[in-house]
């Protein structure tokens, strides 16, 4: 579920963000309003309501998370695309008559890709926590043994009341370790491959 949702989020967010940042003007304004609307939506409560009333399959829940949650990814990609369009090689390609599709795929996308991968990992982290929350609330797939279901079963069986706290410790530890690992992975990935960040770091060193 988390992987499906993260893939949908990253794909839509990257496409929308690059389009808004590159074309700017009216296209940017319309897409920015759409991004603002999506970012204002309470994604997790919406997922809870839909899961409670319709009990969709896990992969459909993941896709729904991705469709509702691509706003932050698109905003970050848009910001980077806006900066990239001002670089000399992009302006030179425009002056030479290169098509918009060629510039987007040949010049912008390679620079945006590392950030998209970082946002993919970050989305996996967020949707993983959502999935754990759904499982703990008893709204996940009962046939799928995952951390949320483990917490749900342990809590409902009275693990805390009878002193068997270790039944909760294992899934909680797994969630914390996985979440922190992905957060550190995103930080390291952005620090290593984000061209705009590296450029700013070099500028600070020179100054």
- Span 23-81, pLDDT tens digits: 988 999 999 999 999 999 999 999 988 888 887 777 888 889 999 999 999 999 999 99
Phi, psi of 149 (to 5 degrees): -65, -40
Q: How confident is the model at residue 204 (pLDDT cuts 50, 70, 90)?
A: very low
Domain residue limits, the chain: 1-205
Comparing 16-25, 94-103, 139-148, the range with the smallest average pLDDT is 139-148
More confidently predicted of 157 and 45: 45
What is the DSSP secondary-structure string of the chain?
-HHHHHHHHHHHHHHHHHHHHHH-HHHHHHHHHHHHHHHHS-HHHHHHHHHHHH---HHHHHHHHHHHS-HHHHHHHHHHHHHHTTSHHHHHHHHTT--HHHHIIIIIHHHHHHHHHHHHHHHHHHHHHHHHHHHHTT-S-TTS--HHHHHHHHHHTTTTTTT-THHHHHHHHHHHHHHHHHHHHHHHHHHHH-HHHHHHHHHHHH-
- What's the pLDDT at 170? 85
Specify the pLDDT at position 201.
Answer: 47
Domain 1-205, second-level architecture: Orthogonal Bundle (1.10)
State the Cα–Cα distance between residues 124 and 179, nearest whole angstrom: 9
Q: Quote the mean pLDDT of the chain.
A: 84
For residue 205, the model assigns a pLDDT of 36
pLDDT digits (tens, 9 = 90+) for 160-184: 777 777 888 888 899 999 999 988 8
For residue 198, name the pLDDT band (cuts at 50, 70, 90): low
Residue 122 has pLDDT above 80, yes or no: yes
Contacts of 145-149 with C-beta under 8 Å, sequence gap 24+, read 147/171, 147/174, 147/175
Positive or negative, the CA dihedral 34, 38, 40, 41 is positive
Instruction: Please tell me the distance from the alpha carbon of residue 35 to that of residue 47, in angstroms, as a whole number.
Output: 19
The pLDDT value given to residue 207: 44
* pLDDT at position 10: 95
Percent of the chain with pLDDT over 90: 35
Min mean pLDDT across 6-20, 52-66, 92-106, 193-207 is at: 193-207
């Amino acid at each position: 579920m988390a992987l499906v949702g993260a893939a949908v989020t990253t794909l839509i967010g990257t496409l929308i963000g690059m389009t808004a940042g590159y074309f700017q003007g009216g296209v940017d304004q319309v897409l920015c309003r759409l991004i603002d609307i999506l970012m204002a939506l309470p994604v997790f409560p919406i997922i809870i309501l839909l899961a409670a009333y319709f009990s969709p399959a896990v992969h459909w829940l993941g896709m729904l998370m991705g469709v509702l949650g691509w706003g932050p990814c698109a905003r970050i990609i848009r910001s980077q695309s806006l900066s990239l369009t001002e670089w000399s090689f992009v302006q030179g390609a425009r002056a030479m008559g290169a098509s918009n599709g060629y510039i987007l795929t040949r010049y912008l996308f390679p620079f945006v890709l590392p950030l998209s991968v970082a946002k993919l990992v970050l989305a996996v982290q967020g949707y993983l926590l959502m999935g754990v929350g759904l499982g703990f609330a008893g709204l996940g797939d009962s046939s799928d043994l995952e951390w949320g279901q483990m917490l749900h079963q342990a809590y409902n069986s009275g693990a805390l009341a009878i002193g068997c706290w270790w039944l909760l410790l294992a899934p909680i530890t797994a969630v914390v370790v996985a979440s922190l690992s992905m957060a550190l992975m995103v930080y390291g990935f952005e620090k290593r491959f984000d061209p705009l960040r590296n450029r700013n770091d070099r500028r600070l060193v020179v100054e």
